[in-house]
Copies of this chain bind each other. A is one copy, B any other.
């Protein structure tokens, strides 16, 4: 999946009364010692999650806009919301005229800082909830405001929550324990490895704030956030102690207690002390009060300002990626086996879907929504299915050109034999996470559609088949996916790939394949990323070809400076529609790649379809994997 999508209700939210209440609270001095002249409402939650729970959708609550990116700022006189080009239309439809839409990326649009400075009276106080602003964002905003004579102040109570009377509860779903057969490494061994890295860097404490890192570390999963099997928690690991901060009700389950050895720890240094979720602040304060002069604390750059500032600057060692993020990215043999199994099951469901679509579409009653529902139904029949890994993008014709499209009743199109169909979907299985995009035509594609599809395919192959030295960063491969499109004057405005978790978030750091980043970590054998170039013809069609691929060692002819080489092995094994290809544009090497890939789809998925007795899907697979010449 190329970027985050969200539900999109298209009528504006009426916000006049809400804003009146909020401004009253800002003026009241009840939550801060002085009146607040402006209040900033960022997108995220206290863990800087990409997907957030309903109780954290504060920016949506106050302005109505529910896209994945956007910051609202409310002053006594004004209310403005900044978002990027993906969301200009949606935001303008969802916000009423109390709100000014600030179109980021346009020359005439002021930055939040410049806008604040232009509208505020002298010596203003700008408030923000320090839990939902990252430490680095706080720093930049504070600097700009201070230099203009204002100040950024941390308001401990969230002012949106004050006026949000029917705010949902923070979810506290049942925890799921994962055994060694899924994780490959016990949480105890993960703690020991973490402590080894801490010793190496002379670090006394590590503060974990990212939800997927905490889930990975303890071999636990939750369902607190849609599509992401995580749970709200913090963790602080020292050389002799482990503190886990989580709603304590969740720990009454004997399976969880046993998994964490809460009642009978094997060794004292592996004993997990549990605390309420909210007490992370005071506990971290207590830890910091007892720090020796040389003690250092690891905390990620992207952690909340509130928690970061608890650690005195002299003791703080900020890191762009935590050691957990790096360890989690390199999958072990058990996780790789699980990811492969998950992708086989996922491919079975998709082969069934395409066989079914082919049969049903001529009847004229398959829509974007019903096709997405069918895909979910078929996936849910597979073993260890947990849920989707993101909202399915099921898009016909012009809807396919909207990169973050999600079908809604008012936009829902019917699948026909006349338009290109793009489906980007994935699931969570207990053994792994999937994410796959296929673009197909059920009739006869136009020459231009085929031409564009073939350029995208050439880009997909160029990345997938690339051989590159150990230590290469993913962003250096991004242009390979674009070279052929560029040659014809075409391009796509998203990255080529993102890291994928193992029964975790479908988007994860610290590696990826994108021109946008430079601070990504080098690719290593065992990392898993997506390879998903595309082409989008506005108002007409969208094309994307996405596989999840595993980084594996390669053995080319030479081995310069003994550095070793890497390449990719596709985990996704779903045929790429030959009908959409202009095979004349493919080189022999590219045809060989397609045929090799399809042979493997037929072998691996064919065997599984046979085992599951899905004969129609098997016939479809066999037909779709005929070699191209």
Interface residues of A (CB under 8 A from B): 147, 314, 466-469, 476-480, 482-483, 486-491, 515, 518, 556-561, 563, 565
Contacts and interface: CB of A to CB of B under 8 A. Distances in A.
Contacts of A556: 486-489
Nearest to A465: B487
A558 B488 contact: yes
A482 B482 CA distance: 16
Contacts of A490: 558, 560
Contacts of A486: 466-469, 556, 565
A487 B560 CA distance: 11
B489 A559 contact: yes
A204 B467 CA distance: 52
Nearest to A563: B491
A557 B452 CA distance: 12
A289 B557 CA distance: 66
Given A480-B479, A483-B466, A515-B476, A489 B560 contact: yes
Contacts of A466: 483, 486-487
Copies in the complex: 2
Instruction: From A469, A477, A487, A556, name the one whose CB has the most chain B CB atoms within 10 angstroms.
Output: A487
Contacts of A314: 147
A198 to B, nearest CB: 18
A136 to B, nearest CB: 17
A565 B518 contact: no
B518 A488 contact: no
Instruction: From A147, A515, A563, name the one whose CB has the most chain B CB atoms within 10 angstroms.
Output: A515
5 contacts: A469-B491, A477-B479, A487-B556, A488-B556, A489-B560
Contacts of A147: 314
Contacts of A515: 476
Instruction: From A489, A490, A556, A561, name the one whose CB has the most chain B CB atoms within 10 angstroms.
Output: A489
Given A467-B489, A468-B482, A489-B558, 19 more contacts: A147-B314, A467-B486, A468-B486, A469-B486, A469-B489, A469-B491, A476-B479, A477-B479, A486-B556, A486-B565, A487-B556, A488-B557, A489-B556, A489-B559, A489-B565, A490-B558, A491-B561, A491-B563, A518-B518
Contact of A491 (B479, B488, B557, B560): B560
6 tightest A-B CB contacts, nearest first: A489-B556, A518-B518, A489-B558, A476-B479, A488-B557, A490-B560
A478 B480 contact: no
A53 to B, nearest CB: 35
A312 B341 CA distance: 62
A50 to B, nearest CB: 23
A434 to B, nearest CB: 28
